[in-house]
Structure 1
């Protein structure tokens, strides 16, 4: 079976919710596919996610975006896998990348909305108390097609009843028993099995003129020319003349020689065919042989003649499109990408096909990369940095962003460009963009503490306090390892940590003390710390022996957790 056949059967299995079978079929499709196909990895990722096997889902999703980094749906798969692992920061980055590629991507926007709901969810039982308070819940779940089969298991029914009594008592089962997650999703109205609607979605994501086939393999080098066409004669021709029969015989001889890689002899036969009967197909075949022997200039001349004659005799547009595409291939081989792009576009104007579209995109990407490389200049990057600093001091933030962007284009490897632009973006209140720039700076220089500090400040402005803590803890570790534990940057890290904790648990506007304490005690991280058996032991020891707490706080992780509890008012000092 072909990859396309396996994929079709895999889609059927997915729709039937037979995810293991779908995984098997998509795996076979991947194995027999001639070139890496991003859609197959995307579909298999969806299957793994439906089975809550998020590590495998992430692996396939990352392979998908590696094959086709311009396909927004691939980043949706990455985001869904990270979200399944409760890695909201990474999930948010993936969904934002999807929206960057496709601003109308509803799946990505839905993912971001889900992350926002998670981050703002106030109840310590994750809102389960209210969900499970319905006395008819068991009967409703037994009647729902999505959960009816699960509810035949008395053990699961007992778990649901236990959740009705005490929503916080079964937290571990929520993650160890996927059926419970399905039950909760059913109550919430969330479909956890969003799957590979590949045919329909690809049709929306590609121009309507494209074939419905979703494969979008794009390579930097043009594919090898196919054997000379032998069936290009338009249908419905009048009875074949003797000249045409003779010409077709010459062409058949040429095709046989072409397959034997005897290109010079094949060219001679195609030329005889053309001289016997004026059919543009013979010129296209000759150009194919000239291309394969490396005579790109000769192939261009032949194709130009084919276009000229074809126009005069009103040849089929697909024949003209072939000639233009082959001229594009020749220029690509000659490394003249602007000309290659020009003729690929002409070919697509005549007749739009996926292979030519792929070559056009590959040529455009390569040309863009070359132009960017040619634009790089470290000296001019430094000039732009200095100019950006001057604009920053004048408080002209848009001008500073422009100069720092120029610096990045001139030298993308310099982390300072991203960090400086992040500082200007924060002044413009563009905090998500500032965070992305800080991440780029850290990627280029993982020990660049200033980038961590700016990222933490941007996250704090967005009230992403857990992310602030994670960012600053990484910066703290770097400073400690570098022997700068008592330096100025370490003091700034500690001050930001304290500020973040204070803001995180501070009373909100119009909130009473009781309401504040209730909200604080429902904070997910506070609940996690209070449920940690090790921390419970430490806190019990501290009640009888305060000195024991001081000893335990020499451990950085214990220190961090105790500071969170103190900021939350759980632990109070006299």
Structure 2
């Protein structure tokens, strides 16, 4: 049989294999692709055979077949796209085996041969999975506690930069413990890295919305940022969350400090100055730009009791009113 005739016959077998593959008749597809390769040595048939093994979950066989495809392809000077495809499937097979180092290695080899969006996406996903696996492997609550204690020691000694380093290690070792974040927020606060401190306090609250220390720490940071109305909101929330009254003294002291500073900063303000100051806050701007809420405020000017009714009926309205009360725009009303 001539090469052309053999190639044509092999292509027919490949097409039959493709039909079986689409029907998920994998054993039949395997046999047909193998027959195609035995009839004519085109690397495409090996790549297709490897695809069957991959779908069957036989990743070792898929890797072995793809390695043969690369070897035969190099020898026969096959299209570099076919070599890239074989490398890509080797990489995907290793990823399925959770061998991310080899998976990333072969996906990168595939991109070196021929760059495609599909393989690039698989590489990024593999790198993400590898990072997550490493992160999870690093978690150790006991070591997290030890690192946090080292941070506490450094904090007490006034070495706040070192404390941050130890608290960061504690967070890596146990990222679901909010204490690492509030402790690091305290150290950042001492270093006047206030945006970082606020981010950590909010992360602690995100992890555990009932964690009172998160709200206390947030209030301290906002106080340092001179955002007294937001600091007041945070410490009021801390009081609400502290149902066991385990932090009453700390909350009371912070509440007193915030309200005193707020009163001092606003002493002698005219209504126009109060409004101008409050409108520098993006949250206040958003509330005041809400047409529906503006309608409620206009109604309240004619009927003050209507505002209380809206607040009782709608939690969102109540929150907005509380923001404006703390900002000083609304001078009277329930707190």
Residue 24 of structure 2 aligns to a residue in which SS?
coil
Q: 2:236 aligns with which of 459, 473, 480?
A: 473
Q: Deviations over 1:414-462 (max 9, x none)?
A: 2110000001111221111100100111223334333322212222332
Q: 1:463 aligns with which of 198, 219, 226?
A: 226
Specify the alignment match of 2:50 in structure 1. Answer: 287
Specify the alignment match of 1:296 in structure 2. Answer: 59
Specify the alignment match of 1:181 in structure 2. Answer: none
Separation in 1 of the partners of 2:71 and 2:53? 19
Q: Deviations over 1:229-281 (max 9, x none)?
A: xxxxxxxxxx9822222222232232233334343333333233223322111
Shift in alpha-carbon separation, 1:454–1:295, aligned structure 2, 3 A: closer
Separation in 2 of the partners of 1:560 and 1:252? 69
Q: 1:520 aligns with which of 269, 274, 280?
A: 274
Q: Is residue 2:131 matched to residue 1:368?
A: yes
Shift in alpha-carbon separation, 1:461–1:516, aligned structure 2, 3 A: farther
Separation in 2 of the partners of 1:372 and 1:411? 10
Q: 2:76 aligns with which of 313, 318, 339?
A: 313
Aligned 8 A contact 1:501 1:564 in 2? no
Shift in alpha-carbon separation, 1:446–1:285, aligned structure 2, 3 A: closer
Aligned 8 A contact 1:274 1:282 in 2? yes
Q: Is residue 2:255 matched to residue 1:494?
A: yes
User: What TM-score, normalized to structure 2?
Assistant: 0.77
Specify the alignment match of 2:266 in structure 1. Answer: 505
Specify the alignment match of 1:78 in structure 2. Answer: none
Aligned 8 A contact 2:47 2:66 in 1? yes
Q: Deviations over 1:141-200 (max 9, x none)?
A: xxxxxxxxxxxxxxxxxxxxxxxxxxxxxxxxxxxxxxxxxxxxxxxxxxxxxxxxxxxx
Shift in alpha-carbon separation, 1:453–1:499, aligned structure 2, 3 A: farther
Within 5 Å, give how 1:242-253 maps onto structure 2: 242-253=5-16
Structure 2, gaps ≥5 residues long = 289-293, 306-319
Q: 2:19 aligns with which of 226, 235, 256?
A: 256
Specify the alignment match of 1:337 in structure 2. Answer: 100
Residue 536 of structure 1 deviates from its aligned partner by 6.7
Superposition CA RMSD, Å: 3.5
Shift in alpha-carbon separation, 1:333–1:494, aligned structure 2, 3 A: closer
Aligned 8 A contact 2:216 2:251 in 1? no
Separation in 1 of the partners of 2:4 and 2:134? 53
Separation in 1 of the partners of 2:264 and 2:127? 49
Specify the alignment match of 2:157 in structure 1. Answer: 394
Within 5 Å, give how 1:232-243 maps onto structure 2: 241-243=4-6
User: What TM-score, normalized to structure 1?
Assistant: 0.47
Shift in alpha-carbon separation, 1:257–1:441, aligned structure 2, 3 A: closer
Specify the alignment match of 2:317 in structure 1. Answer: none
Residue 517 of structure 1 deviates from its aligned partner by 7.0
Separation in 2 of the partners of 1:373 and 1:428? 30
Question: In the comparison of the two structures, how many residue pairs are matched?
Answer: 301
Shift in alpha-carbon separation, 1:533–1:518, aligned structure 2, 3 A: closer
Separation in 1 of the partners of 2:12 and 2:70? 23
Structure 1, gaps ≥5 residues long = 1-238, 507-512, 538-556
Shift in alpha-carbon separation, 1:250–1:482, aligned structure 2, 3 A: same
Aligned 8 A contact 1:468 1:500 in 2? no
Residue 209 of structure 2 aligns to a residue in which SS?
coil
Separation in 1 of the partners of 2:210 and 2:55? 52
Residue 241 of structure 1 aligns to a residue in which SS?
helix
